[in-house]
Amino acid sequence: MKPSPITEHDHTDGPEDARVTLIEYGDFECPYCVRAYPVIEAVRDAFRGRLRFVYRHVPRSVDRGFAKQAAEASEFAASAGAFWPMHRQLFLHPEQHELDQLVEYASAIGLDAGACRTALVEHRFHERVKELVVASTRSGIIGTPILFLNGTRYEDRVESEPLLKAVEGAFES
């Protein structure tokens, strides 16, 4: 299993030419992704300016009712240049992804609440999320969270110490 190449359509943070890239395939409602969120944020903070982080959607609405809607809300935010603030809101409130709550998050990060509501009701970002899910499936991604360090699947626990050590090791190699 290998991640697909990073493109301009991916949600990235950090230098494009970073020596180490961490890719997460995630779902805003997955309890394991929710637990991984602060760990990954700590790693991003520890290596800020040197680490490239990529987040890719794999919403599982079959299991979790509003996962696809949350992914669509993040894509709405991305269209306004605010993917990362919405990403944060969604992970900080994993059990609150109904329409009114998503609109509140958009407003809280400075986006137009009415435009967000319209985009979600009309499913304007449905096809984009669907494309991401199809691409993930083609890469063999079926669960979440799945992490890759420089293209190699990270197999250890998604806890601070092991992940920090793995990223440090990737910088040293």
Q: Write the pLDDT tens digit of every residue in 4-45.
A: 899 998 999 999 999 999 999 999 999 999 999 999 999 999
Q: Tell me whether residue 141 is in a domain.
A: yes
Q: Tell me whether residue 172 is in a domain.
A: no
Q: How far is residue 36's CA from residue 115's CA, in Å, rounded to a whole number?
A: 31
CB 99 within 8 A of CB 117: yes
> In this structure, what CATH number is given to the domain that contains residue 117?
3.40.30.10
Q: Tell me whether residue 104 is in a domain.
A: yes
Average pLDDT score over residue span 156-172: 96
Give the chain's domain count: 1
Q: Tell me whether residue 6 is in a domain.
A: no
Q: Tell me whether residue 26 is in a domain.
A: yes
Q: Tell me whether residue 173 is in a domain.
A: no
Residue 29: how many other CB atoms lie within 10 Å: 26
The vertex-104 CA angle with 66 and 144, nearest 5°, equals 35
Residue 27's domain comprises 19-166
**Local confidence band at 140 (pLDDT 50, 70, 90 cut-offs):** confident
The CA-to-CA distance between both ends of the chain, in Å, stands at 21
CB 158 within 8 A of CB 35: yes
| DSSP 8-state code for residue 115 | H
Q: How far is residue 85's CA from residue 52's CA, in Å, rounded to a whole number?
A: 17
pTM of the model: 0.94
Q: Tell me whether residue 89 is in a domain.
A: yes
Question: CA-based Rg of the chain, rounded to a whole angstrom?
Answer: 16
Residue 63's pLDDT is 52
SS3 109: coil
Q: Tell me whether residue 135 is in a domain.
A: yes
- pLDDT tens, 49-85? 999 999 999 887 655 568 999 999 999 999 999 999 9
